[in-house]
Amino acid sequence: MDFGFNDEQQAIRDTAREMLAKRSPLSRVREHAEAKTRDEDLWKEICDLGWPGIAIDEQHGGQGLGTVELAILCEELGYTCAAVPFLSNAIAAHVISVAGSDEQRDRWLPGIASGESRGTVALEQEQPAIVVDADGAALLVLPGAGIVEPSAAEVESLDLIDQTRTYARASASGGDALAGESGMHVPMVALAAELVGIAQRALEMAVEYAKEREQFGRPIGAYQAVSHRCADMLWDVEEARSLTLYAAWCADAEPETLPYAAHMAKARASDSAWTVTSSTLQVLGGIGFTWEHDLQFLLKRAKVSGELLGSAGAHRDRVASFAGLG
Amino acid sequence: MDLTLTAEEEAFRDELRAWLEANHPGEGPGGGDQAEFEFQRKWQKALHGGGWAGISWPKEYGGRGATLIEQAIASEEMARAKVPRPANVLGLVMGGPVVIAHGDEDQKERFLDPILSAEEIWCQGFSEPESGSDLASLKTKAVKSNGGWKITGQKVWTTFAHEAKWCMLLARTDPDAPKHKGITYFICDMEQDAVDVRPLRQITGESEFNELFIEEAEVPDENVIGGVGNGWNVAITTLMHERAGLGASAALQLRIALDELAEMAKEKGLAEDPLVRDKIARLRIGIEGLRLGAMRALTQTMKVGIPGPEGSVAKLQWSYANQAMTELAISIGGIELLERDSLWAYRFLRARANSIEGGTTEILKNIVAERVLGLPKLR
């Protein structure tokens, strides 16, 4: 039993943390969010590092690693709120790997792995369905239609509060139907990991501010009303992280447990990320409500990602089934 | 990351599981009285005979020398098998480890064996009426006398005091030193008239705990552990032992109780009720979070010596889950569950202490804030 990262996993995490700290500070996220652009330079670097192919098999140009490694990257990208289409593309990689025919895999996975021909997958079962980062993607996977090229789909942009990536509703008919079916459990784990990263970053913001900001002659973090709020945040973050890493491990090593673990992880991470980011706003006080403060990027991403692939309540309803309520 | 058990861990689990199956003592008499205690003493003797007492203790002191993961496996297996707790639980999880960590060779020779065999029961005299969360403000005093000490004061929340031979007792030996520095850790003989034990009745109606009224109790020098004035450091070790490894077995016990609760909800026709489903799911997620966090903390401790931040919230997770679960049970089961002899009524009332005993929720949050997050102290 080893519930920690092995050397390779630790190295992936450290590299990601270091690179993103340098290349995607929140000031840069802000530039792109305000200009409504994607960070193409960062995306290129990410592609050069091979991240888009992390969980794609080697025969299709990927690194052949697993969901744990994918979750590590998602957490780090969530931590930085980077304006790159990593998550949507990783979900496309998963769906086509699992549900695609040999031909579909041969045709699409190498481009997804290199990042040169990105994919994105509808995150709802009914058309028109929510898609993330559809603009500039080479393929969309839509319910009932299968794989379609963007020119063959009707894509209506949605201007959501999270401006660090793009959202749209898409519909199409008569695409290249997928050969099989893919559950959305691994995508749930990827989203949960991103949410853990967002929550971790917000917690650090709250703690840093609580140490520095003085009122009534002492740092506000010395008051238990503030410090206990921060302790609760740590609880939220760590519990969500434990459940998410467990679900990622199940995906790789114990697939029969994955649905149970993935619903738990997504439910907990969605709630945690919202609780922690909104609680951080309370610690920051008025400054946290201003446009000039960077918390807004985390808070808005937390809310939107928390709703993608089902809200926390919907996932808990599934967990209740696993808990014996049918 | 690999959450499967290694071959050694699996062998350990299978051996214990088989032993528990062959040696399960059946259901005890219950009631929290003398008969039940003797039943637990007999059970511990059986554990000792089988080599399963002191699982965490090093082999050279009669223990099993198990790894932290194996300890967690063992406490899970015990919870799964629903065996009684050993009579000398405080000696096993606190007294013995402290003597091993801080005692000299004579003390190890004298005290360790009878702990394992349950010949000598241990209790703990830390809290005082005026010193609960602020334990270091304790007032019980020890005054030097010929070849030893005379101890006078009052202790409270002392479990097993009426059965105990030895009390792990904190007393102030230097009233002029700063409050954390003037404390000494004694092993006090309970079999003397100077120690008066009075049971403390709790809201459940039973008396798990006692008050100690101590009037010039005698303790020889050789029963000082870790040196005069070093009691606070020694005590911190025992408190850490008290909390270590709590997570895994606590999670399993919660899980077993929550399964019963889900069954009850179904019988009451509430399986489709969205509120009930949501609450049971929340508990299930919290309980799994506790179990997994405990496993992460054990892994981290084995790798680098101390648990990561995930370990610091285990007791918060546990007390919150147990209180919320027992409240939900009453709302699902209805008024009959509040009958005085109902098991759920007992669990419901007993759970009220969970957020106080072993460190209040508020103190634990202070610790998380100050030691894990590095926030400034108010005091």
pLDDT at B306: 77
Q: What is the mean pLDDT of residues B351-363?
A: 94
pLDDT given for residue B305 in this prediction: 79
Render pLDDT for A230-249 as a digit per residue (tens, 0 to 9). Answer: 999 999 999 999 999 999 99
Q: Is B60 a catalytic residue?
A: no
> Which is it for the CA torsion B75, B81, B82, B85, positive or negative?
negative
DSSP conformation class of A11? H
> Residue A170 — very low, low, confident or very high, per pLDDT cuts 50/70/90?
very high
Query: What sign for the dihedral angle of Cα A255, A260, A266, A269?
Result: negative
pLDDT at A312 over 60: yes
Q: Is B377 on the interface with A (CB under 8 A)?
A: yes
Question: Which DSSP helix (H) or strand (E) runs through A270?
Answer: helix A258-284
For residue B276, the chain A residue with the least C-alpha distance is: A320
CA geometry: angle at A284 spanning A280 and A286, to 5°? 125
For B260, phi then psi, to 5°, come to -60, -40
- Measuring CA to CA, which residue among A320, A324, A315 is closest to residue A262? A315
3-state secondary structure of A17: helix
Q: pLDDT, tens digit, for every residue of B88-113?
A: 999 999 999 999 999 999 999 999 99
Q: pLDDT value at position B379?
A: 67
Closest Cα in chain B, distance from residue A282 (Å): 17
pLDDT of residue B312: 82
Mean pLDDT across A37-61? 98
Decide: A80 and A97 in contact? Cβ < 8 Å.
no
From A301, A204, A316, select the one nearest A260 (Cα to Cα). Answer: A316
pLDDT of residue B310: 78
The ipTM estimated for the assembled molecules is 0.97
Q: What is the 3-state secondary structure (H, E, C) of chain B?
A: CECCCCHHHHHHHHHHHHHHHHHCCCCCCCCCCHHHHHHHHHHHHHHHHCCCCCCCCCHHHCCCCCCHHHHHHHHHHHHHHCCCCCCCHHHHHHHHHHHHHHCCHHHHHHHHHHHHCCCCCEEEECCECCECCCHHHCCCEEEEECCEEEEEEEEEEEECCCCCCEEEEEEECCCCCCCCCCEEEEEEECCCCCEEEEEECCCCCCCCEEEEEEEEEEEEHHHEECCCCCHHHHHHHHHHHHHCCHHHHHHHHHHHHHHHHHHHHHHCCCCCCHHHHHHHHHHHHHHHHHHHHHHHHHHHHHHHCCCCHHHHHHHHHHHHHHHHHHHHHHHHHCHHHHCCCCHHHHHHHHHHHHHCCCCCHHHHHHHHHHHHCCCCCCC
A129-132: strand order across its sheet: A129-132, A167-171, A154-158
- Whether chain A has a CB inside 8 Å of the CB on B328: the answer is no
Residue A1 has its nearest CB partner, among B3, B265, B365, at B3
How high does pLDDT run on average in chain A? 97
* pLDDT for residue A228 is more than 80: yes
Q: Which long-range contacts (CB under 8 A, 24 or more apart) does A55-58 make?
A: A55/A90, A55/A93, A55/A94, A55/A97, A56/A93, A56/A97, A56/A109, A56/A112, A56/A113, A57/A97, A57/A109
Question: pLDDT at residue B203 above 60?
Answer: yes
pLDDT above 80: residue B245? no
Nearest to B262 among A227, A317, A324 (CB): A324
User: So what's the pLDDT on residue B145?
Assistant: 94
The bridge status of strand B195-200 relative to strand B141-145 is unpaired
pLDDT > 60? residue B244 = no
pLDDT of res. B308: 81
The answer, yes or no, to whether residue B378 has pLDDT greater than 80, is no
Question: A142 in helix, strand or coil?
Answer: strand
Name the residue facing A238 among B3, B284, B309 (closest C-beta).
B309
pLDDT at residue A215 above 60?
yes
Backbone angles phi, psi at A45, to 5 degrees: -60, -40
**Alpha-carbon distance B309 to B158, whole Å?**
30
Report the percent of chain B where pLDDT is more than 90: 85
Least reliable range by pLDDT among B278-287, B304-313, B328-337: B304-313
Is B1's Cβ below 8 Å from some Cβ in A? yes
Cα–Cα distance, B156 to B167 (Å, whole number): 12
What is the per-residue pLDDT across B262-305, written as a single tens digit (0 to 9) for each?
Answer: 999 999 999 999 999 999 999 999 999 999 999 999 898 888 87
CB < 8 Å to A4, chain B: 1, 296, 299-300, 303
Could you report the per-residue pLDDT of A252-279, keeping only the tens digit for each?
A: 999 999 999 999 999 999 999 999 999 9
pLDDT tens per residue, range A72-116? 999 999 999 999 999 999 999 999 999 999 999 999 999 999 999
Whole-number pLDDT of residue B301: 86
With the CA atoms of B348, B352, B355 and B356 taken in that order, what torsion angle do they form, in degrees rounded to the nearest 10?
-150
Give pLDDT tens digits for B17-44. 999 999 999 998 877 778 999 999 999 9
Q: How many CB pairs under 8 A join A and B?
A: 169
> Which residues on chain B are in Cβ contact (under 8 Å) with A224?
362, 365-366, 369, 378
Which residue among the candidates B76, B128, B163, B242 is catalytic per the annotation? B242
Scored b (16 or more CB within 10 A) or e, B255-276 reads: bebbeebbebbeeeebbebeeb
Closest-CA residue of B relative to A268 is: B285
* Structure tokens belonging to residue B124: 């703990």
User: For residue B366, what is the nearest residue in chain A, using CA coordinates?
Assistant: A228
Q: Which comes out higher in pLDDT, residue B207 or A52?
A: A52
Question: Could A316 and B377 be called an inter-chain contact, meaning their C-beta atoms sit closer than 8 Å?
Answer: no
- Whether the predicted pLDDT of B243 surpasses 60: no
Residue in A211, A241, A319 closest to B376 by CB: A211
Q: What is the DSSP letter of A221?
A: G
In this complex, is the C-beta atom of B203 within 8 Å of any C-beta atom belonging to chain A? no
Query: Are B225 and B102 in contact, with CB atoms under 8 Å apart?
Result: yes
CB B187 within 8 A of CB B166: yes
Q: Which residues of B touch A234 (CB under 8 A)?
A: 309, 312-313, 368, 372-373
Residue B249: its pLDDT value, please? Answer: 87
Q: What is the pLDDT of residues B112-155, one digit of tens each?
A: 999 999 999 999 999 999 999 999 999 999 999 998 999 999 99
Give the per-residue pLDDT at B309: 82
pLDDT confidence of residue A136: 95
B238 pLDDT higher than 70: no
Question: What pTM did the predictor assign?
Answer: 0.96
Place of tokens 């002392």: B158
Q: How confident is the model at residue A138 (pLDDT cuts 50, 70, 90)?
A: very high
| A248 vs A267: CA distance, rounded Å | 14
pLDDT at res. A113: 98
Q: What HEC string does A284-305 produce?
A: HHHHHHCCCCCHHHHHHHHHHH
Q: How much is the mean pLDDT over chain B?
A: 94
Chain position carrying tokens 């041969």: A106
